[in-house]
Structure 1
Amino acid sequence: MATAVETLGKLERRITISFPLTDVRTEVEKRLKVQARTAKAPGFRPGKVPLKMVAAQYGYQIESEVLNDKVGRAFNEAANENNLRVAGFPNIVPKEEAAEGQLAFDATFEVYPEVAIGDLTTVELETVQAEVSEAEIDKTIDILRKQRVHFHTKGEAGEHGDGGEAVAANGDRVTVDFVGSIDGVEFPGGKADGYAFVLGEGRMLPEFEAATVGLKVGEAKTFPLAFPEDYHGKDVAGKTASFTITLQKLEWAHLPEVDAEFAKSLGVADGDLAKMREDIKVNLQREVAGRVKARNKDAVMDALIKVAELEVPKTLIAQDSERLAEMTRQDMAQRGMNVKDVPFPAELFAEKAERRVRLGLILSQLVGDNNLQATPEQVKAQIEDFAQSYEDPREVLKYYYSDRRRLGEIEALVLEENVVTYVLGLSKVTSKAVAFDELMGSNAQA
């Protein structure tokens, strides 16, 4: 039996659930007899253990299961009878005062809110667009060349030349021995032999790199180095050290020529440079399209948050915060980080969780009101689009269609795109061209 629903707040509700104690005892005895059929105990054959011993061993567990089942069933029945859309899980606690022979529990919970979405035709949205020019293709080729760089001893003649005068310069890879001291005392981490780095990449502090430039193999230099106040090494942060470096090895960077061999290294079997450029262009266009879509989706989501009015259930925020914390922990562990004893307070993720839950409720309302669900055809088209960048598209299709959870992720993605298309179709949209570098440097997430 359940009492009438009490309203405790905008979304918070309470129901008192009660049922006869005899119902619980009867069900416990019934389950104990079932358990006794297979129960084992020293000195007894299986199934011949006295019921009192079975009760002593399993009684608490079975009683807890019975109570959970009865309370859960009673709560669900009460929620259905009152047409309540329960958000998250109820908080159920025993009621201190109950009628004689009765067990009573208070179930406190939240319900899903009413979502009021304003007039989308009044929303002003700015979308972005970007183009892939020949200059972007050239920049990408330069990056690909640098990824395939190889080094030669500077000053020694070879098939690619000698690299010029054997003096350290930006772009060279240097191998040095160094030792640092503060007030004449060496400090931990201030000494190394055979340490290699590329000048100009910023891996070392500016004073260190500046002192290395101009050295020849075998030469040494002593110089002062002031560590920044925010330096990661707290023992030396804000202090000035004296360093001595000795150049042991000097190599110059040789970038591969943009020729047929270079094209083949990028997967163009016949080495055709025009085909290589076209492949790069297609890949860049796909990346640009994804970034543009993500930026425009974010703009739509931001607009929906502003135009919609709703209360967000705290229960759902808490649950999503816990989920985000666990996802972060797992992600860091997969990256090889030791997070065993690292705390991940869910509160740190509350703001992000609140936005996710709010958007989820808004999207759910829009989808239901305007029939924007993902169709099987749309889902298949999205997977086929993903599969284009893989060697065997059929394996990609199999990967998604063999797992309902993975397929659900694609459905959710398509659903969001349907919402974006719908909102853009109603809103006042202006388009702005953005530079390729600006777009690729953004933090937009699809």
Structure 2
Amino acid sequence: MTVNVETLEKLERKITLTLPVGVIQSEVDSRLKKLARTVKMDGFRPGKVPMNVVAQRYGYSVHYEVMNDKVGEAFSQAANEAKLRVAGQPRITEKEEAPEGEMAFDAVFEVFPDVKINDLANATVEKVAASVSDEAIDKTIEILRKQRRTFAQRPADAQAQDNDRVTVDFEGKIDGEPFQGGKADDFQFIVGEGQMLKEFEDAVRGLKVGDSRTFPLSFPADYHGKDVAGKQADFMVTVKKLEASNLPEVNEQLAKSLGIADATVEGLRADIKKNLEREVKFRLLARNKNAVMDALMANAELDLPKASVQSEIQRMVESARAELKQRGIKDADKAPIPEDVFRPQAERRVRLGLVVAELVRANDLSAKLEQIKAHVDELAASYEKPADVVRWYFSDARRLGEVEAVVIENNVTDFVLGKAKVTEKAVSFDELMAQQQG
């Protein structure tokens, strides 16, 4: 076998492969003979089909399989000999001209890039910190109380006010015409909690059971219902039922109903604080990790392999289709999803993956077994039976692989923070919790 390696541009390479025709034909003959021993054809006993008949029926497909196998083997061998790290699948085409008795092929492919990470001492990272305040604990208790509130019917002459649960019929029209989602009977919501648009809540306040009111409502331009976003509708609402909400007292009974081991108010607050601190820790880690990864990519130089980006785009498209299918969208597998929507994110993922892999390799930042165990223990700590959760993780290689990836990212984060110029910034608990987790 003769091997020629040629650089086309940046990461693109070309290898010319030559294979003796005799080797291919010998393998074809061998496979046809093996096939003839088992093939079944009308008019012949099993194993007695003449070779020329077997060759006529299966020769083309067997020849195609052999060519694929032999060219694939030749490419792998050539790439290994040249110490090339191949990204994606090669595009292989047969050459018209070849030495006598041989077949020649061109294999065009990409290689993974060399990654240059500049001095991280010049990188800047903003590291955020937050703490759990008494106010945050109070807000969490209020949420827990609202989740356990009860409702009682209000007197007939009562007027709707904040915190009341109202049952209403409503109908809306745009330019005198009904629209989808604009009509409902026996619809319930709690006044003052932002479940409905402000104009709707304002219209219901002060109404008694049996009262109706008509009012204009302007849908915001960014409203989730695109058909009505930015338009004005005329609504009529009728109150059918009014219920006052009753929140449970903050006492030992509430703590007990929440399954707190120390069923006291102090025990309730301590348990909430512990859970909030765990959530704050993970959110800070995620936010600071993102800041580190941004700084790392800004200090790295590399070319992106198109094949890797395309593979990542395909994964993201398939994931989007699977999500649509899960939501019950008809023909989700045929839904037109433009690839370019995912390209920036796919490029970021590929770039980050290559940069992180290089930093891990160069600085021995791979996950140690004790780190993986410690991380699993931490994840399990918030569950009622931590030991069961630990066993669940260690019983599945894929789940353990996901934990290993997180530990490696944490190692990279700590390494970069130890090298870069770090500025610290305090953020409020509310700001941290409002942030979308990436």
TM-score by length of 2: 0.92
1:151–1:253 CA contact under 8 A, matched in 2: yes
Map 1:87-166; keep pairs closer than 5 Å.
87-155=87-155, 166=158
Query: What is the match of residue 391 of structure 1?
Result: 384
Deviation for aligned residue 1:113: 1.3
SS at match of 1:5: strand
SS at match of 1:340: helix
Deviation for aligned residue 1:280: 0.9
Q: What is the number of residues matched between the two proteins? A: 437
Query: What is the match of residue 200 of structure 1?
Result: 192
Query: What is the match of residue 251 of structure 1?
Result: 243
Query: What is the match of residue 9 of structure 2?
Result: 9
Deviation for aligned residue 1:394: 2.7
Deviation for aligned residue 1:99: 3.6
SS at match of 1:268: coil
Residues 110-158 of structure 1 show CA distances to partners (whole Å, capped at 9, x for unaligned) of 11211111111222222111111111111111111122222221228xx
In structure 2, give the amino acid aligned to 1:59: G
Label 1:267 to 1:232 Cα distance change in 2 as closer, same or farther (>3 A): closer
1:125–1:299 CA contact under 8 A, matched in 2: yes
In structure 2, give the amino acid aligned to 1:411: E
Query: What is the match of residue 50 of structure 2?
Result: 50
2:128–2:427 CA contact under 8 A, matched in 1: yes
- Counterpart Cα distance in 2 of 1:204 and 1:182: 18
Deviation for aligned residue 1:368: 1.3
- Return the match for 2:431 from 409, 423, 438: 438
Report sequence identity in percent.
55
1:318–1:346 CA contact under 8 A, matched in 2: no
Deviation for aligned residue 1:314: 1.2
Label 1:216 to 1:279 Cα distance change in 2 as closer, same or farther (>3 A): same
Label 1:247 to 1:53 Cα distance change in 2 as closer, same or farther (>3 A): farther
1:7–1:14 CA contact under 8 A, matched in 2: yes
SS at match of 2:9: coil
- Return the match for 1:286 from 243, 263, 278: 278
Label 1:97 to 1:291 Cα distance change in 2 as closer, same or farther (>3 A): same
Query: What is the match of residue 266 of structure 1?
Result: 258
Label 1:279 to 1:413 Cα distance change in 2 as closer, same or farther (>3 A): same
- Counterpart Cα distance in 1 of 2:238 and 2:105: 77
- Counterpart Cα distance in 1 of 2:33 and 2:220: 74
- Counterpart Cα distance in 1 of 2:366 and 2:407: 8
Query: What is the match of residue 214 of structure 1?
Result: 206
1:2–1:74 CA contact under 8 A, matched in 2: no
1:2–1:15 CA contact under 8 A, matched in 2: no
SS at match of 2:126: strand
Query: What is the match of residue 78 of structure 2?
Result: 78
Residues 221-279 of structure 1 show CA distances to partners (whole Å, capped at 9, x for unaligned) of 23334455665666656655443322111112222222222212222156222222111
The answer for unaligned runs of 5 or more in structure 1 is: 157-164
Deviation for aligned residue 1:103: 2.2
In structure 2, give the amino acid aligned to 1:417: N
SS at match of 2:292: helix
Deviation for aligned residue 1:181: 4.1
- Counterpart Cα distance in 2 of 1:127 and 1:245: 50
- Counterpart Cα distance in 2 of 1:219 and 1:380: 63
- Counterpart Cα distance in 2 of 1:227 and 1:397: 49
Query: What is the match of residue 409 of structure 1?
Result: 402
In structure 1, give the amino acid aligned to 2:295: A
Deviation for aligned residue 1:290: 0.5
In structure 1, give the amino acid aligned to 2:403: I
SS at match of 2:158: coil
- Counterpart Cα distance in 1 of 2:319 and 2:226: 31
Query: What is the match of residue 300 of structure 1?
Result: 292
- Counterpart Cα distance in 1 of 2:218 and 2:28: 75
- Counterpart Cα distance in 2 of 1:347 and 1:380: 40
Residues 317-360 of structure 1 show CA distances to partners (whole Å, capped at 9, x for unaligned) of 11111112222322343344442332233332111111111111
1:121–1:427 CA contact under 8 A, matched in 2: yes
Label 1:13 to 1:267 Cα distance change in 2 as closer, same or farther (>3 A): same
1:4–1:15 CA contact under 8 A, matched in 2: yes
- Return the match for 1:315 from 297, 307, 320: 307
Query: What is the match of residue 22 of structure 2?
Result: 22
- Counterpart Cα distance in 1 of 2:221 and 2:421: 49
Structure 1 stretch 211-220 or stretch 333-342: which is displaced more? 333-342
SS at match of 2:334: coil
Query: What is the match of residue 37 of structure 1?
Result: 37
- Counterpart Cα distance in 2 of 1:408 and 1:60: 43
Query: What is the match of residue 160 of structure 1?
Result: none
Label 1:133 to 1:369 Cα distance change in 2 as closer, same or farther (>3 A): same
Q: CA RMSD in A?
A: 2.3
SS at match of 1:4: strand
Label 1:359 to 1:186 Cα distance change in 2 as closer, same or farther (>3 A): closer
1:12–1:109 CA contact under 8 A, matched in 2: yes
- Return the match for 1:174 from 166, 172, 181: 166
- Counterpart Cα distance in 2 of 1:233 and 1:122: 47
The answer for unaligned runs of 5 or more in structure 2 is: none
Structure 1 stretch 242-251 or stretch 281-290: which is displaced more? 242-251
Deviation for aligned residue 1:57: 4.5
In structure 2, give the amino acid aligned to 1:342: A
Label 1:327 to 1:4 Cα distance change in 2 as closer, same or farther (>3 A): same
Residues 410-430 of structure 1 show CA distances to partners (whole Å, capped at 9, x for unaligned) of 111111111111111122222
Structure 1 stretch 175-184 or stretch 140-149: which is displaced more? 175-184
Query: What is the match of residue 337 of structure 2?
Result: 344
Deviation for aligned residue 1:169: 1.5
SS at match of 1:192: strand
SS at match of 2:132: coil
Deviation for aligned residue 1:30: 0.8
2:217–2:233 CA contact under 8 A, matched in 1: yes
In structure 2, give the amino acid aligned to 1:219: D
Structure 1 stretch 168-177 or stretch 397-406: which is displaced more? 397-406
- Counterpart Cα distance in 2 of 1:72 and 1:132: 59
Deviation for aligned residue 1:108: 0.7
Map 1:58-69; keep pairs closer than 5 Å.
58-69=58-69
Is 1:331 aligned with 2:323? yes
In structure 1, give the amino acid aligned to 2:377: E
Map 1:365-376; keep pairs closer than 5 Å.
365-376=358-369
Deviation for aligned residue 1:56: 4.5
Label 1:245 to 1:323 Cα distance change in 2 as closer, same or farther (>3 A): same
